[in-house]
Structure 1
Amino acid sequence: MTLEILTSDLLAPLRHGFFTRRGGASSGVFKGLNCGKGSSDQSDIVAINLKRVAGAMGVESKALISMNQVHSADVELVEAPFAAPPRADALVTDRPGLALAVLTADCQPVLFADQEAGVIGAAHAGWRGTLSGVLEATLRRMETLGARREDTVAVIGPTISQRAYEVGWEFYDEITADAPENQRFFIGDGGEKLQFDLPAYGLHRMRRAGIGHAVWTRLCTYSDPERFFSYRRATHQGEADYGRLISVIRL
């Protein structure tokens, strides 16, 4: 099956893509393009999937740069391929030929670009990383390479939508303790559970930080099992593990 690569006019003509699960070599619960080395999928099959992604992005496998994601606000500058993936949740570079990759399975994959300055970034932004400031930290690190945030654009790829993201009141308390106005990202009927709008929260954080333009693809990982992996859906279905989607951008 051919790879399915979702793109955004906002990032064009840069080569980039939010890859769906279609077109991969994995099977079982990982069926399709599972790019998670940390999953229990066969490592040689994951390597095949990653090689296909690198080929689609026009780079060698070693130039497909990923991270050991830890839900932090840490950002790494990429000047050459790493010997080992750094512990971080965002990458930035101004070097042509390096492809920055983010793995997700409900969290936000966010691709950034200041095309005039020739600077790009990629962030893994779950609720904890977003609350900690990983999106703002990515913008700041891009500025050290000459980017201007008012000239920077960002696209949030497929992520869990509000209708599928049920949370408890302790979650609400943590998000609103940072800023009371964050209550607007929740809906509920006063019962035990609420629903949180993660992409709206991500857009709010970037717009408040002064980004030039930011959008969400409006695609929900939970709600489309044919195209997307989802940690929460796999958990609800009692599956032993789940695949990881990959999102990539390069100069």
Structure 2
Amino acid sequence: MAEPVEVNRAEVLAGIPHGFLGRRGGVSTGLVAGLNMGLGSGDDAAAVAENRARGGAAVLPGAPIVACYQVHSPDCVTVTEPWSDAERPQADALATNRHGLLLGIVTADCTPVLFADREAGVIGAAHAGWKGAIGGVTDNTIAAMEALGARRGAIVAAIGPTIAQASYEVDEGFRSRFLESDSANTRFFMAGKPGHWQFDLPAYVAARLAAAGVGRVEDLALDTYAQADRFYSFRRATHRGEPAYGRQMALIGLSER
């Protein structure tokens, strides 16, 4: 019997089709074994397509997945119609009020954030790596949702599987970028070995969301690096000297009326 797709869900998004997927339940083999949904992972295209079909069916059966070509930017695209993989715009977040499709974000340590305003019927999804996070990708997603009728205080946001502070070592130059942006960001760094720090990316993203005025934020507190059997991790693959790594996907949609 095939392993079922593991779907991690957030309480704040209860009742809204969504899921933070991992590597369980897919058909890929080798270094990217499992539910690899990354088009740029070097995996067999047919396996990725099957994984995406399985992942989508586990969240909102029959709905097409709409994703962007992620480039670690702060940019958010408003989705009015589904597009093909070949037509993906370069961006790192999506927002829509369209029913019957799934917004998808791929990650492999960076923070996936799913958003919803139930009252307005508006959803969003953001890929918040450190560059996108400090650049304002979550702020831009909220703004795009507001343009579709969402109300900032009614928006809830969930943070999915992300590299945790204990697993995310950075150097002094990295830390300096964040302190130059806001000296209060020192609270997201814990001293590590000489000249290095441990960065709390999910806490930083959560703080940005709270500062933006969203109604509620939930962090699932799942560490991609530490749980190799459940999640893909770019940094773990790098530390192991592996030439390839998979990507998991976060999905959110609005059911057909």
Q: TM-score, normalised by structure 1?
A: 0.97
The yes-or-no answer on 1:167 pairing with 2:206 is no
Q: 1:54: Cα distance to partner?
A: 2.0
Q: Distance in 1 between matches of 2:39 and 2:192?
A: 40
> 2:6, 2:24 within 8 Å by CA — same for their partners in 1?
yes
Aligned partners of 2:10 and 2:218 also within 8 Å: no
Q: Deviations over 1:201-245 (max 9, x none)?
A: 001111111111112101100000000000000000000010000
Q: Deviations over 1:8-42 (max 9, x none)?
A: 12101001000110000001111100000101111
Partner of 1:12: 14
- C-alpha offsets along residues 23-65 of structure 1, whole Å, 9 cap, x if unaligned? 000011111000001011111111110111122233446x210
The secondary structure found in structure 2 opposite 1:187 is: strand
Match of 2:36 in 1: 34
After TM superposition, give the deviation of residue 94 of structure 1 in Å.
0.3
CA-atom RMSD in angstroms: 1.0
Aligned 8 A contact 2:158 2:217 in 1: yes
d(CA) in 2 for partners of 1:125, 1:60: 27
Summarize deviations over 1:88-122 as a string: whole Å, max 9, x none.
00000001101000000000000000001000000
After superposition, the Cα gap between the structure-2 partners of 1:138 and 1:29, relative to the gap in structure 1 and judged at 3 Å, is same
**What letter matches 1:57 in structure 2?**
V
Amino acid in the other structure paired with 2:68: M
Moved over 4 A (4+): none
Deviations 1:124-163 (A, max 9, x none): 0000000000001100110001101100000000100000
Q: State whether residues 67 and 87 of structure 1, in contact with CA within 8 Å, keep that contact through their aligned partners in structure 2.
A: yes
Q: Quick one: distance in 2 between partners of 1:153 and 1:175?
A: 25
Residue ranges of structure 2 left out of the alignment (5+ in a row)? none
Aligned residue pair count = 250
* Partner of residue 77, structure 2: 76
Q: What's 1:112 paired with? A: 115
Q: How far 1:190 sits from its partner (Å)?
A: 6.8
Structure 1: runs of 5+ lacking an equivalent: none
Matched, 1:230 2:233: yes
Query: What SS is found at the alignment partner of 2:227?
Result: coil
Match of 1:197 among 189, 196, 200: 200
Q: Quick check: 2:192–2:198 contact (8 Å CA) kept in 1?
A: no
Equivalence map 1:120-199=2 (5 Å): 120-189=123-192, 191-199=194-202
Measured in 2, the distance between the counterparts of 1:169 and 1:161 equals 18
Quote the Cα distance in structure 2 between the aligned partners of 1:191 and 1:39: 34
* 2: CA distance, partners of 1:42 / 1:162: 32
Separation of aligned partners in 2, 1:154 and 1:9: 10
- Cα distance between partner residues in 2 of 1:163 and 1:36: 25
Distance 1:11 1:69 in 2: 24
Report the AA paired with residue 40 of structure 1.
G
> Contact (CA 8 Å) 1:59, 1:99: kept in 2 or not?
no
TM-score (norm 2): 0.95
